[in-house]
Amino acid sequence: MPTAREALLDAALAALAGLPWSAVRMVDVASAAGVSRQTLYNEFGSKEGLARALVRREADAYLHGVDQVLARPVPPARNLAAVAEWTVAEAVARPVLRALLTGCWGERLPTPRPARPGARASAVPAQRRADAGVPSPADLLGLARDRAASALGRDDGEVLRSCEVVLRLALSYVVAPGPSAADGQWVEPESWRPMTPTITSVIETIFRVDTRSPRKIIP
C-alpha cells in the first residue's frame, strides 16, 4: 500500500493529465489521495514544494529504470542500445520526464526552483532532498551516463564519451521525432515512437564494448 506521500504524488501527477499545473488545486490533490489537506502541507510545505517533490521523483524513477535496464543479462552493447530505446519510450509516455531531459517545460507543467536560501528546512527527509532542487538535463544525462559506464565495468574517458553519445542520440529522438509515413510532417508529441530496430542496430554496431579486454572497439 503506498504511503500518504506517494499517494499525493500519484494524485498530483494524475491531475496533470487533464489540467495545467496552475489549475491543479492542493485541496483536490489531497482529496484524490484520500488524505487531509493538512497532511499534504505537512509533507510538502506548499504547492511549490509539491512540484519539487513530483519532479524529483520523476528524475529518481528514470535513474532507477536505467539501472534496471543495465542489469539485464545481455551483451553490454545491447544494454546500451536498450537504455537508449527505453529512454525514448519513457520520455514519450511521461511529460515531466521529457521536460527534465530536454529542459522544455511548457505552460502545463510545474517548473520548480530550489527552495529559497535561508528557508526553514522541511521536517520530512525526502522533502529536504526535493527542496534542494532537481537535476538539469545535463546533470541527469551525466548521471545516466555514469551508470552505463559503471555497468560496463569501466569508467575511463572513452567509455564515458561513448555512453554519453548513445544517450544524446536517444534525446535527439525525443527532441526531433521522425516524420510520419503519411504526409512527411513531424508527428505530434503524443505520437512519438521509440527508436526503430535499425537505429538500435546502429548503436550496437558503433558502441560495442569488449569487457574481456581493456580495449573498446569502435568500427
Cell of 26: 492542493
Query: What is the C-alpha separation between 147 and 151, in angstroms, rounded?
Result: 6
Model confidence over 74-97: pLDDT tens digits? 777 788 888 888 898 898 889 999
Beta bridge partners of 191: none
Domain boundaries, the chain: 45-217
Q: Which amino acid is at 117?
A: P
Q: Kindly give the residue spans of alpha helices, DSSP state H, lying in 73-156.
A: 76-93, 95-102, 125-131, 137-151
pTM: 0.81
Query: What is the C-alpha separation between 61 and 19, in angstroms, rounded?
Result: 23
Model confidence over 64-80: pLDDT tens digits? 999 999 988 877 778 88
